[in-house]
Structure 1
Amino acid sequence: MCGITGFIQWNRDLTQESELLVRMTESMSNRGPDAGGTWISNPCAFGHRRLSVMDPENGAQPMIMNHGDTQYTVVYNGELYNAPELKKELENRGHHFKTNCDTEVLLASYAEWGPECVERFNGIFAFVIWDSGREHIFMARDRLGVKPLFYSDQGDLLVFGSEPKALLLHPAVEAVVGPEGLAEVFIIGPARTPGHGVYSSMKELRAGHAATFNRNGFRSYAYWKLVSQPHEDDVDATAAQVRSLLIDTLERQLASDVPLGSLLSGGLDSSALSALAVAYYKRNGQGNIDTFSVDYVDNDKHFKAHSFQPNSDAPYIQRMVDELKTNHHFMEFDTAEVVEALNASTLARDLPGMTDVDSSLYLFCREIKKKATVAISGEAADEVFGGYPWFHRDEMLNSGTFPWAVAPKMRASLLSSDIAEWTRPLEYLNDRYSDAVAETPLLAGETGKAAQMRVMSYLNITRFMPTLLDRKDRMSMGVGLEVRVPYCDHRLVEYVFNIPWEIKITGNREKGILRKALEGILPDDVLYRKKSPYPKTHNPAYLESVRQQLLDVLDDPSSPVLPLLDVKKIKEIAASKEASSNNPWFGQLMSGPQLFAYLTQVNNWLKTYKVSIR
């Protein structure tokens, strides 16, 4: 994976802007620690940082290709998992390749098929191409939005980048946040509305979208979206198809010219990927695979079972390691490390995020990077197959808002009266929820429970899943680790989206159809283990540490967050003994220690990025 950035301006000589381009490019050196390159040719200035995964000796970017009378130049972040098939088809059409990297395949695909090339891609990607023949920029992002792409459209100027930090270095892109941006941070956050960049001058190209930029301006459009279709397969045929798709997806994603490992939590999703990877390695004589797990110092002492997390991961991790005979690496972090990394995780996102769930993943990825360059992870299985509690609890299904938007009235009450009046956070939340529900593609005549579960699936795939994909991309790429997410394969997502709810919960279990698909692959105690969330620290020392950090912020008159908040109310909450660490991350996104840490992250973000509120 990589970091891309650049700008296009029609009526200005950009050849004198090399220093600016280098600064923008180098701001993302963590995303691409292996190499960097820039290219300026009016009206374009492109920059690229490379993490070498396929054909490390070749594939430098920006990459230029001449085809016919046209020159094409690309900067690309991602991986095409069907590159071998595309390459063969393109060779049959007369193309000749100089490298074994997928960048050249992507560029040749565009030269051959134009903007429609994205419909042929299986992979995760964000790229920008200068097409000298059409005299336009073409950019696109993968169907589920695994790879990020931000842009700032300013008429005759377009600035783009994998991360906001690169765009903010351009003098035309200001770190200004208005009422919508604040509503995103305080009532939607750490999630984001698709396409919203928080910063007023910035947007994110939506998942499954492409765009063109020429002298007539910028235009974006959807090239892919979820479509509802009748499901004809019975339970057995459905399970067989899920199994087939998952195996094909994973085996495509195991291709790498650098060391590869698998994250292993002992839960259904990661255990399945690890087991399938081990089987593939054995069949192909590739030896053993490295697996990685994470926990916290003394968590065994402080862990308390509850309905969201009935047991700890450790015994199940060991069960899978014994079963698969992997080279396992068990990472453990203490409270001080997790707290210290909170600021690093904010810098990786360029925004406040998921606090300790971010910082621990940042530390985890940093340790994995010492052993592997690529890792497989189980993100998206819960969104796609319906694993979260809100799929199964009536009070959450019928909440009338995003079920992960915990206590929105309480969250809104944290704002100062002036900011609350300016941002209207509850109205903003209701509007974004209504937009999402209205977008849902229902089958003709679909009503009742079927329609309700279709909406819930759509909300999770298009609104909640991007939160976790953002997290995984920023925390992993922040340390130069590529993480692949097989459950985001668009073929699998399209198929499962149309499986009726009663089949999805086969056996009256959450993710029942996935469990049935994995019969014989996992031991029964892991196969039927109840969902357990990403591990978080239960140590009361973490709560006390982030509480004190927040109190220090509130007591510092120079803290930029103070004018935005009802400081008295927040101090009362911080002084309360009711705050608990014993909720899963998705049950306390803005309560207890996550609230304290999040507000501190907001303050650090405002200060570090010199954000102007207006």
Structure 2
Amino acid sequence: MCSICGIIDFKNKDNLNKDILLEMGKELSHRGPDQNGVFINDKVAFQHNRLAIMDLENGLQPMTRYFQGNEYTIIYNGEIYNTPELKSELESYGIEFKTNCDTEVVLYSYIVFKEECAEKLNGIFAFAVFDKNNNEVYIARDRFGIKPLFYTQVGTSLLFASEIKALLKHPKVNANLDKEGLWQLFYLAPMKISGTSVFKDIHEVKPAHFGIYKDNHFDLKQYWNLEAKEFVGTEKDAIENTRYLVTDAINRQLVSDAPLSTFLSGGLDSSIISSVASQKYKNEGNILGTYSFEYKGNKENFKNTIFQPQSDDEYARYLAHYLGTDHRILTADISDITSLLFDAVKYRDLPGMADIDSSLLYYCSKVKEHHTVALSGECADEIFGGYPWFYRKEMLERDFFPWIHDPHTRISLFDDTIVKRKEGYEFVKEVYKNSVNECSMLDSDNASMKQSRIATWLSTQYFMTSLLERKDRMSMASGVEVRVPFADHRILEYVFNVPWEYKFENGVEKSLLRNAMHDCLPDKILNRKKSPYPKTHNPQYEELVTKLLREKLKNPNSILANIIDSHALDNILQYENITWFGQLMSKPQLIAWLVQLDYWFDLYNINIL
């Protein structure tokens, strides 16, 4: 993995300022600590930081190649999992490769296939190609937005970067927050609306989109979408096809020239990945490294909920022993996750998921001591129907995102003359309504299938992208590449059209996945109830972040102190601990999120318009 950033200006070469470009790149150096490079001419200025994963000796970027008299230069962040097939196809066009890295494969894919390039790729990616002869830049992002890419327009220049912080290093880009940005923060965060960044006039290249910048105009187009199709086959066919797709996705993502491991929680999804990976390693005479995450004090303080019915530690240890992996248990203290709340904001560019972010930031820093690449189990719940809103009808019958259990909790803490709650609520409801209407369906779908499609659509478009953003930023902060095998578009395309009855057989969530991979796991793991990423249950954590928040609110220069309703805050602090967002965000996380928000206002010099 890597970082990319650039300035494009076809009208005024003086705007291609190398010093500004280097400052932008410096902000992203954590994503690529191994090598860096620049490419500057009279049209574009590209900068790249490299985390070397494949072909460690080669692959320096920016990379330039010449073909049939034309010149092309790429900067690229990602991994392509169908590289062998693409390479063979490109060689049939007369391409001769100089390296074994996928950067060159992506570049030649653009050279040969032009606008159809992105849809040829199976992987995670964000890249830009300068096509000198056509005087244009092609920019593309993967189907699920696993690799980030943001852009903004400054006069005649288009700026783009892997993270927002790099764009803000340009002297003419400001951290402005308008009312829609506020509403996203207070109603949706850590989610955000696709194509936005929360910051005014800073946009993201939407997942599954490519764009061509030419003649001072950036034209974005969608190259992939999730389509409803009639399912053809039997339940046995669905099980066999799912098994093939999942196993193939995992095996494709085990290719690495850098040390590779898996995250193993003991839940179904990470256990499937670890089992398939472990077997492949054993066949090659190697032992797979695995990691599980714990918190000091959790054994004494764990309390189950419908979202987190069990603790992970027993199951992770059990499966690691069963598979014979080289297992490490990483344990975080509340002091670790509290102190890292601030770094988590810096790496995410936003207040995100509080200690759910900061703990992952801590764990990945420890993983980096032994491994550079890890496979993780995200996205199976969104694709196979693991969340309660897939099978609890009442959660989808509200006119709001089903994982936001109380949309008013957070925004009620702020001065309504500033946040305009009613107007904001109607805005977000309209976003939700439009999103539901975009979901592809068939006239022949029964009621349960329609509900399944809507739940899958919303989950993959919003909830999943937020979790993938978190995983990318917190892991790349330490130069760790985390791959997510379930986020293979072939799996989603297929499972989206499998009848809901196969996915929820006998009232068991993700039964299709369990049936497909049943011989990979012991019954203790195979039949385990879903449990999410672990969080701290230590009551001292809430005490610590509450103290932090009260101290920050004493600062007369604090933006937060000037917009928060102290009476409403006192009421929230006295409430019982209930989950208000997703599966993990409850009262301690809300308090910690406010601490992060205060820090973000100050660090980014936010200007509320």
Q: TM-score normalised by the shorter chain: which range applies?
A: over 0.9
Query: Which residue of 568, 582, 586 corresponds with 2:582?
Result: 586
Paired residues of 2:63 and 2:73 also in contact (CA < 8 A): yes
Deviation at 1:311, TM superposition (A): 2.0
**CA separation in 1, counterparts of 2:84 and 2:605?**
46
Deviation at 1:20, TM superposition (A): 1.1
**1:407-449 Cα deviation digits (max 9, x unpaired):** 1123332221211328822112101101211111111343533
In structure 1, the partner of 2:11 is 11
**1:47-84 Cα deviation digits (max 9, x unpaired):** 10000000011000011111112111111000011111
In structure 2, the partner of 1:400 is 399
**CA separation in 1, counterparts of 2:180 and 2:446?**
33
Deviation at 1:450, TM superposition (A): 2.0
In structure 1, the partner of 2:194 is 194
**Aligned to 1:486, what secondary structure does the other structure show?**
coil
1:308 partner letter: F
1:465 partner letter: M
Paired residues of 2:535 and 2:584 also in contact (CA < 8 A): no
**Aligned to 1:171, what secondary structure does the other structure show?**
coil
**Aligned to 1:570, what secondary structure does the other structure show?**
helix
2:582 partner letter: F
Paired residues of 1:383 and 1:457 also in contact (CA < 8 A): yes
**1:101-134 Cα deviation digits (max 9, x unpaired):** 0000110111111120111111100001111122
In structure 2, the partner of 1:566 is 565
In structure 2, the partner of 1:342 is 341
**1:507-559 Cα deviation digits (max 9, x unpaired):** 32100000000111100010000001110000000011111111122222111
Residue 154 and residue 92 in structure 1: after superposition, are their counterparts in 2 closer, same or farther (change >3 A)? same
Q: Which runs of 5+ in 2 are unaligned?
A: none
Which one is further off, 322-331 or 214-223?
214-223
In structure 2, the partner of 1:386 is 385
1:355 partner letter: A
Paired residues of 1:208 and 1:225 also in contact (CA < 8 A): yes
| Aligned residue pairs, count | 609
2:331 partner letter: E
In structure 1, the partner of 2:459 is 460
Do residues 35 (structure 1) and 31 (structure 2) align? no
Percent identity, aligned pairs only? 43
In structure 2, the partner of 1:609 is 604
Deviation at 1:252, TM superposition (A): 0.7
Deviation at 1:155, TM superposition (A): 5.4
Residue 501 and residue 155 in structure 1: after superposition, are their counterparts in 2 closer, same or farther (change >3 A)? farther
In structure 1, the partner of 2:534 is 535
Do residues 98 (structure 1) and 98 (structure 2) align? yes
Residue 262 and residue 584 in structure 1: after superposition, are their counterparts in 2 closer, same or farther (change >3 A)? farther
**TM-score, normalised relative to structure 1:** 0.97
**CA separation in 1, counterparts of 2:194 and 2:566?**
30
2:227 partner letter: V
**Aligned to 2:243, what secondary structure does the other structure show?**
helix
**CA separation in 1, counterparts of 2:98 and 2:264?**
37
Which one is further off, 335-344 or 146-155?
146-155
Which one is further off, 303-312 or 214-223?
303-312
**1:478-519 Cα deviation digits (max 9, x unpaired):** 110000000000101110111111111123210000000011
**CA separation in 2, counterparts of 1:335 and 1:184?**
29
**CA separation in 2, counterparts of 1:154 and 1:180?**
21
In structure 2, the partner of 1:417 is 416
Deviation at 1:39, TM superposition (A): 1.0
**Aligned to 2:187, what secondary structure does the other structure show?**
helix
**Aligned to 2:244, what secondary structure does the other structure show?**
helix
Which one is further off, 238-247 or 304-313?
304-313
Deviation at 1:305, TM superposition (A): 2.6
Deviation at 1:588, TM superposition (A): 5.4
Paired residues of 2:414 and 2:563 also in contact (CA < 8 A): yes
**CA separation in 2, counterparts of 1:420 and 1:16?**
38
**CA separation in 1, counterparts of 2:403 and 2:306?**
16
Do residues 471 (structure 1) and 470 (structure 2) align? yes
Deviation at 1:35, TM superposition (A): 0.8
In structure 2, the partner of 1:116 is 116
Which one is further off, 88-97 or 529-538?
88-97
In structure 2, the partner of 1:598 is 593
Alignment map for 1:316-395 (pairs within 5 Å)? 316-395=315-394
Deviation at 1:249, TM superposition (A): 0.7
Deviation at 1:91, TM superposition (A): 1.5
Paired residues of 2:281 and 2:287 also in contact (CA < 8 A): yes
Paired residues of 1:53 and 1:258 also in contact (CA < 8 A): yes
Paired residues of 1:412 and 1:425 also in contact (CA < 8 A): no
Residue 306 and residue 188 in structure 1: after superposition, are their counterparts in 2 closer, same or farther (change >3 A)? closer
Paired residues of 2:385 and 2:509 also in contact (CA < 8 A): yes
In structure 2, the partner of 1:437 is 436
Do residues 497 (structure 1) and 496 (structure 2) align? yes
**CA separation in 2, counterparts of 1:165 and 1:527?**
42
Alignment map for 1:201-216 (pairs within 5 Å)? 201-216=201-216
Deviation at 1:583, TM superposition (A): 5.0
In structure 1, the partner of 2:125 is 125
Do residues 169 (structure 1) and 164 (structure 2) align? no
**Aligned to 1:586, what secondary structure does the other structure show?**
coil
1:443 partner letter: L
In structure 1, the partner of 2:517 is 518
In structure 2, the partner of 1:267 is 267
In structure 2, the partner of 1:311 is 310
**CA separation in 1, counterparts of 2:50 and 2:499?**
42
Paired residues of 1:179 and 1:422 also in contact (CA < 8 A): no
**Aligned to 1:99, what secondary structure does the other structure show?**
coil
**TM-score, normalised relative to structure 2:** 0.98
**1:263-304 Cα deviation digits (max 9, x unpaired):** 00000000000000011112233x001000101012101112
Paired residues of 2:191 and 2:462 also in contact (CA < 8 A): yes
**Aligned to 1:520, what secondary structure does the other structure show?**
helix
Deviation at 1:179, TM superposition (A): 0.7
Which one is further off, 130-139 or 521-530?
130-139
Alignment map for 1:275-290 (pairs within 5 Å)? 275-285=275-285, 287-290=286-289
In structure 2, the partner of 1:255 is 255
The RMSD of aligned alpha carbons is 1.5
**CA separation in 1, counterparts of 2:571 and 2:508?**
41
Deviation at 1:312, TM superposition (A): 1.3
Which one is further off, 90-99 or 537-546?
90-99
2:195 partner letter: G
Do residues 549 (structure 1) and 548 (structure 2) align? yes
Q: Which runs of 5+ in 1 are unaligned?
A: none
Which one is further off, 132-141 or 413-422?
413-422
Deviation at 1:406, TM superposition (A): 2.7
In structure 2, the partner of 1:183 is 183
**Aligned to 1:402, what secondary structure does the other structure show?**
coil
Deviation at 1:563, TM superposition (A): 3.1
**CA separation in 2, counterparts of 1:595 and 1:537?**
14
2:605 partner letter: K
**CA separation in 1, counterparts of 2:58 and 2:264?**
32
**CA separation in 2, counterparts of 1:172 and 1:423?**
33
In structure 1, the partner of 2:52 is 52
Paired residues of 1:341 and 1:363 also in contact (CA < 8 A): yes
**CA separation in 2, counterparts of 1:423 and 1:213?**
39
**1:229-285 Cα deviation digits (max 9, x unpaired):** 011122111011111001111111000001000000000000000000011112233
